[in-house]
Amino acid sequence: MELRTLRYFAAVAEELHFGRAAARLHMTQPPLSRAIKQLEADVGAVLLRRSPAGVELTPAGTALYAEARALLEQADLARARVAAAAGPATITIGTLADSAEQAGTHLAAAFRELHPGVEVHVREADLTDPTTGLRAGLADVALTRAPFDDTGLSVRVLRADPVGVVLRADDPLASRTALRLADLDGRRRFRFPPGTDPQWSAFWHADGAEGPVVRTAQECLQAVLWSGTIGLTPLYHAMPDGLATVPLTDMPPSRLVVAWDPAAGPLVRSFARLCISRI
């Protein structure tokens, strides 16, 4: 079994769909299917059950996936350590607002322990680019929030946080214990600049709003405080003085994710797996 074939198998096992796995691997579906069939022949067992809806792992496939993940992790770790020993290695982590903080300080400590010689740069992006510079080549890996256009990217959900509305503390709605989106009808909301990812804008209900244009999380809060607009936010920390949050019962959760280019090197993949296992 080759590591490349195991990586193909792991992608199919995680996506449970050949088409999505092929897109993630930047290849077409026929060679991916042939590689999986050859792997099944090599191990002498059926690994995947195929159906029009997708695929599911057989017991043999489940066992192989666990072994494949362990082997791939060890291979990537070895490559990253060799690269670090050969010369200075760096990784740039793109973050959105305080997404890196929400990942926890234990993540940084765990990464330094695995890769003590790697120089880490953190790039905080504004709200106009939820990929945090990943597509522009300004970041190697992103700790950010979905949804956004993830075409050609590998994305894994790390955590889902409930969403609430941000209001001035003296707003009549601020005393409520919970609200629905319909309760916000007619209220002014901040909006993002033209060119912002449409999926991102639609999720935060910013498209077509009449409130001020904002680019950062801090500007969102100031727009609420000074202009009386409303905004939406993940509910994971306290608001500054003068502001309050109320949970929205019919709003989907905000997903903290790690995203990277599938063609990225072992150091990026090592960081992504660390995020998945530690957050």
pLDDT digits (tens, 9 = 90+) for 151-189: 889 999 999 999 999 999 999 999 999 999 999 988 888
Annotated domain spans of the chain: 3-85, 88-157+256-260, 163-252
* Closest C-alpha among 69, 71, 103, 108 to residue 91: 108
| pLDDT of residue 213 exceeding 80 | yes
CATH of domain 3-85: 1.10.10.10
- Residue 190, pLDDT score: 84
Taking CA atoms, 185 is separated from 161, 181, 230, in Å, by 23, 7, 11
Topology given in CATH for the domain delimited by 163-252: D-Maltodextrin-Binding Protein; domain 2 (3.40.190)
Q: Which amino acid is at 235?
A: L
Read off the pLDDT band of 254 (50, 70, 90).
very high
How crowded is residue 170: how many other Cβ atoms within 10 Å of its Cβ? 10
Pairing of strands 141-146, 163-168: unpaired
Q: Which amino acid is at 60?
A: A
- Residue 171, pLDDT score: 94
| pLDDT of residue 103 exceeding 80 | no
- Residue 86, pLDDT score: 59
The CATH architecture that domain 88-157+256-260 belongs to is 3-Layer(aba) Sandwich (3.40)
User: Lowest-confidence range among 86-95, 189-198, 204-213, 239-248?
Assistant: 204-213
> What average pLDDT does the structure give for the chain?
87
Three-state SS for 252?
A: coil
Read off the pLDDT band of 1 (50, 70, 90).
confident
Tokens of 66: 């666990």
